Structure 1
Amino acid sequence: MVLDKKKAFYAFAAFFLSLFLLFSAQQLFNRFVAFNPLIKTFSQKEYVKEVNIKKEAGKINLEICLKDVDNLAGVYYDIQDTASDILKGRPFTVKIINTPSELLENIYTKKVQFVIFEGIKTGKFTEMRAKLDQLETEYKIDIGVFLDNENLYLKIKSDHDVLYKIINMQ
């Protein structure tokens, strides 16, 4: 059997060209059908400072940086509903990102998180709120806590910065 080098070259070229076209089509689909509507919609929301979208392992990851919001839980519900409507059943995750000051990060990691996790584990949310009130007075910050069946939504605000955390209670 004689292998024609020219035919083999054309077969490989056609294979790689087809692969390239399929990959390009997938990228265009992601950009114009999935990503652009998400970016456009979230950029128009008054509570969004910045939105980044990444696709990893078949899942779309939304990273949203928020402005100062009063009701973190309500904003999170709106983000979830909006993304669900646009993505129509495709899997996604939402991550709220922010860059708080070192002071707020330290207050959270050294004080607040222990109070929060103790409240979640024991179910004594009124005691948790009382301890958070003491921390508010001690550090001159505002600590907002919102609860639902799944998550605890935490907002810590100083004069210049805001820290948001969404903590799963399960």
Structure 2
Amino acid sequence: MKPSFKLDAHPRRPRPLLSEPPAGYFDQLPTRIMARLPQADARETSADWGWLGLLSPALRTGLASVAVLGGFAASFYLSGPPPAGQGAATAAALDAVPHTELVGYLLTSGARVENADLAALTAADPGIANGFLQASDEELTEALDGQPSEDLTYL
């Protein structure tokens, strides 16, 4: 067990004395700091945007909002429409992949596919599972009966 630490039991080291500040240093310090700050008159004459200071704060906020929204609108307008062939080529390439390969990829890849996603897929094409799902009616009934159901109408 460690002995308890008591600060009073340890002697203090002597510190070297700091030099004294010059006489009147702290009395002159605020004036010297204020002298280094830029003057308000010099700031107003050097700025080209001095007329903004004459506007009310609400008008300045509105002007800034119009400038930001105008920038967004100009960027969208100047960017133009997307190339027509790019989206069609991607859709055509995806349509060329057989549905059985897509379903197999989704089931094995670790993508989070839920039952609702598969239900929407089979609703669009009811015969999609015929190529890869060979299960008897008894196996399907057993699997469906094993699913937990919270709604008593399905029991």
Task: Give TM class, smaller chain.
Answer: under 0.3
- TM-score, length-scaled by structure 2: 0.22
Larger radius of gyration: 2
Larger relative contact order (Cα-Cα within 8 Å, sequence gap ≥ 6): 1
Greater helix share, 1 or 2?
Answer: 2
